[in-house]
Structure 1
Amino acid sequence: MTENSKDPEGLSYRALAMLRAVAQDRAEITVSQEPDLYVDGLPCSDQITAHLLAHAGLIRPARDGMPGGRVPAKLSETGQALVAPLVPAA
């Protein structure tokens, strides 16, 4: 398995890891047209994938915020459906 491997839904393992981090409440997203993702307080190393996830409607800000500011990231219903089998119940 490599970072470029794909799952049946067409998402890379890296994209799925990013979605899992959002599901685990470990991610923040900037309020922006091109939202950046932060995981555990650090900028995600693949912002292009973060942008794609946001534009695909899989992740979004959990609440309103100042333009350019960071807010908690949240999965959409579609994003939740994709990662539900991958995230252990808390």
Structure 2
Amino acid sequence: MSGSGVELTHRAKAMLKAVAAGRAQMSCSCEPDLFIDGFACCDQITAHALAHSGFLRPAVEGGRGRVTAELTEAGRVALEVTVAA
């Protein structure tokens, strides 16, 4: 699940859409957990993979605790490909 050209699962795409909609937060840690609408995401393995693969990141550089999550350029491209398909 790294970089462009990799097919994302429906769940991963839904997680990216939630981030794009401003509904997600993530923890600032080496294994960043994702929270959607204030609740812990049910698939933290995918959340970790999306973060480590560069699809999403904390919106606050050097933040602590939970911060707003944002899409990276790779995340935006992944969603554009999803919409076009």
TM-score range, shorter-chain basis?
0.7 to 0.9
Give the aligned partner of residue 10 of structure 2: 13
Runs of at least 5 residues in structure 2 that lack an aligned partner in the other structure = none
Q: In 2, are the aligned partners of 1:20 and 1:86 still within 8 Å (CA)?
A: no
Runs of at least 5 residues in structure 1 that lack an aligned partner in the other structure = 1-7
Measured after TM superposition, the shift of residue 21 of structure 1 is 0.2
Tell me if 1:84 matches 2:52.
Answer: no
| Higher gyration radius (CA) | 1
Paired-residue identity, %:
53
Corresponding pairs, count: 78
Give the RMSD, CA atoms, in angstroms.
1.5
Question: Given the two structures, how large is their TM-score scaled by the length of structure 1?
Answer: 0.80
Question: Given the two structures, how large is their TM-score scaled by the length of structure 2?
Answer: 0.85
* Structure 1 Cα separation of the partners of residues 12 and 25 of structure 2: 15
Structure 1 runs (4+) deviating above 6 angstroms are none
Counterpart amino acid of residue 58 in structure 2: P
Higher relative contact order (CA 8 A, sep 6+): 2
More helix by share: 2
What pairs with 1:55-66 in structure 2 (closer than 5 Å)? Answer: 55-64=52-61, 65-66=63-64
